Amino acid sequence: MFVEDKTTEFKREYADGVRNTAIAFANSDGGTVYIGIEDDGSVCGVDDVDAVMLSVTNSIRDTIKPDLTMFVNVRAQTIEGRPVVCVEVRRGTARPYYVRSKGVRSEGVFVRQGAATVPASDAAILAMIKESAGDRYEDERSRVQELTFEKAQAYFARQDMPFGQAQMRTLHLIGADGAYTNLALLLSEQCPFTVKAAVFQGSTKTVFRDRQEFGGSLFEQLEGSFAFLDRYNRTRSTFPGLERLDTRDYPLEAVREALLNSLVHRDYSFGGSILVSLFDDRLEFVTIGGLMKGFSLEDVGLGVSVQRNPNLANVFYRLKLIEAFGTGLLKIRECYAGSGVQPKFEATNNAFKVTLPNVNFPAEQECDPATVVPRYLRAQSPAAKRWELRTSEPQTAAVPQPRTERERATLDLCRKNGSLGRKDVETLLGVSQATAILVLRKMVEDGLLRKIGAGRELRYTLPE
C-alpha cells in the first residue's frame, strides 16, 4: 500500500489541488502526484486517462509562473489493474513558482511540509527569490508583477530610445524566466520605496518648516525631490561692482549629484526611505546602505566605483542622468572649489551620508544686522522663501532684462496673458519639455519671472 509523504501525494480525482501540489513540489524537493488513488492509499483509478492528462498539462502550462512545464512529466500508469495518472515534478530552478492569478504572495506560493501542501511564508518566499537570483536585489524577481512604466517611458522617449519588451530584457528589467525583476519594480509606478525631504528652522531638527514624501518611480522621486530642494535653495544677491552677483545656497550640480548618488547606490534590500534634511547651514542626504565590502571613503574619494546596483546605474547612464561611474562625489567636491567650505562624506556599515554646506551661510553670519535687511520673496508655497540681502542704504538696482530671443518672446507672452505654463513655452518656442524647463528656471533665477503654485498648478508670472 502506498503512503503519502513529503514527495508523494494522492488525489482521488483531478482538481485545482493538483496544481498547488505541483507548485509545492517544484518549490521544495520534487515529488509525484498520483491521480486515482484514495488518501488511504487504495487504488480507485480514473475513468478517462486522456482527459485527466490534458487537464493537468493545461493547468500547469496556463496557471503557473514561471514556466514549470520543463520540470513536469505527466504519464499514465496501471496500478493494481486500474489506470492512474502520475504527475512527476522535479525541483525547479526559477523558484518560487506560484499561481499566476495570485502572484508571489503566500496565497499563491506553496511548499511541502511533511505530507502536506501549505502556503509559503514571506521569509520562505524571499529566501527562494534570493537563492534563484543571487545576492543583488535588482536582479531578483519582483514579488509584484502588475507594473506600469509611464514615467520610465517618458524618460526613454526624451532620449529617442525605444522601451519595449526587447529593451526591457537587455536592461534586465525582465529576467530569463520572463518575469519582471526588482529593477523593473524600482522604475515602475508601483515602487515601494520613497524619499522623505524636510526643511528645518535653524540648525537642528527641532522645528519643521516644511516636509514632503516622494514616491512612485525612481524617476518621479528624482524630479519631485529636486524640485522641492530647488524651491528652498535660495539665491543671495550682492553687488561687488556694477553688476549683480547671484549665488545659490547650494550649487545645483552638487544637489543633483548627491540626489542621484542616493537613488542609484542605496541598498534596496532594506526597507526605509532616503532622508533629505535642509537646515539653515547645511543640506544632508542619508542613504540606506554603507560602502561596499572592502572599500573605504578614501577609495571612493579617488573615483573608485563599485556599483551596488549596476543595472540601475546603467539605465541612468543610458538616459544621460549620470555621465560616468564613480565621478559623482568628485563633482560635488569640484562644485565647492574656492567657496571656503567643503562637503562632507560619512559612512557606517549600513548608511552613507553626504552633507552639503550652505556657501552663503558664513557671509550671512558676518553681515551686520543693523545695516543688512533680508528681503523675502514668495516662492512656490507660502512656507518657501527666497531672499536677497540688501544694504539699508537706498540703491538703484538695474531692472533685469532678457538676454536671449527665447527669453524676450517668453516675457512678451507672459505680459500679454498675465501668466504662462511650461506647455505654453514649449508651444511658443517649439522646444522640448526639458528645454522649456531650463528657460523658465533661468528666467526665475534672473528675476524675470516668478513661480506661483506647485505641481500641475505651477504657473509663471511677472515679478511684483
For residue 285, the model assigns a pLDDT of 96
434: its cell numbers:
526639458
343 and 415 in a single domain? The answer is no
How far apart are the C-alpha atoms of 32 and 5, rounded to whole Å?
Answer: 10
pLDDT for the residue numbered 301 = 66
Class of residue 192 by CB neighbours under 10 A (exposed 0-12, middle 13-18, buried 19+): exposed
Q: Which three three-digit cell numbers place residue 47? A: 475513468
428 class by beta-carbon count within 10 Å (0-12 exposed, 13-18 middle, 19+ buried): middle
Q: For residue 113, what are the domain limits?
A: 8-132
Q: Cβ distance 71 to 44 under 8 Å?
A: no
Residue 180 backbone class (left: φ over 0; alpha: ψ -120 to 50; beta: rest): beta
| Encoded amino acid at 2, one letter | F
Q: How many residues are present in the chain? A: 464
Measured CA to CA, the distance from residue 329 to residue 301 in angstroms comes to 7
Kindly report the CATH number assigned to the domain that includes residue 406.
1.10.10.10
Residue 70 carries which DSSP code? Answer: G
Instruction: For residues 359 and 332, give the distance between their C-alpha atoms in angstroms, rounded to a whole number.
Output: 13
Q: Does residue 142 lie in a domain region?
A: yes
Q: Tell me the three cell numbers of residue 191.
A: 515602487
- Please check whether residues 351 and 411 belong to one and the same domain: no
pLDDT tens figures, 72-123: 999 999 999 999 999 999 998 888 899 988 888 889 999 999 989 999 998 8
**Sign of the CA dihedral running 398, 399, 400, 404:** negative
Beta strands in 400-462 (DSSP E): 450-452, 459-461
Number of structural domains found in the chain = 4
CA dist 330 and 322 (Å) reads 13
Verify that 128 and 138 share a domain, yes or no: no
- Give the pairing of strands 116-119 and 110-113: antiparallel
The answer as to whether 375 is a domain residue is yes
pTM, entire model: 0.57
Q: How far apart are CA 340 and CA 325, in angstroms?
A: 27
User: Where do we find the cell 540648525?
Assistant: 203
Q: What CATH number does the domain containing 306 carry?
A: 3.30.565.60
Predicted confidence at residue 63, as pLDDT, reads 92
- Which residues of the chain are modeled with pLDDT < 70? 1-2, 131-135, 240, 242, 292-296, 299-306, 324-326, 363-399
Give a yes or no: residue 2 inside a domain.
Answer: no
The reported pLDDT for the residue numbered 161 is 94
Report if residue 1 sits inside a domain. Answer: no
59 belongs to a structural domain: yes
Rounded to 10 degrees, the C-alpha dihedral 21/24/25/28 comes to -160
Residue 154: how many other CB atoms lie within 10 Å: 14
**Are the beta carbons of 174 and 129 closer than 8 angstroms?**
no
Q: What is the pLDDT of residues 249-289, one digit of tens each?
A: 999 999 999 999 999 989 998 888 999 999 999 999 999 98
240 and 384 housed in the same domain: yes
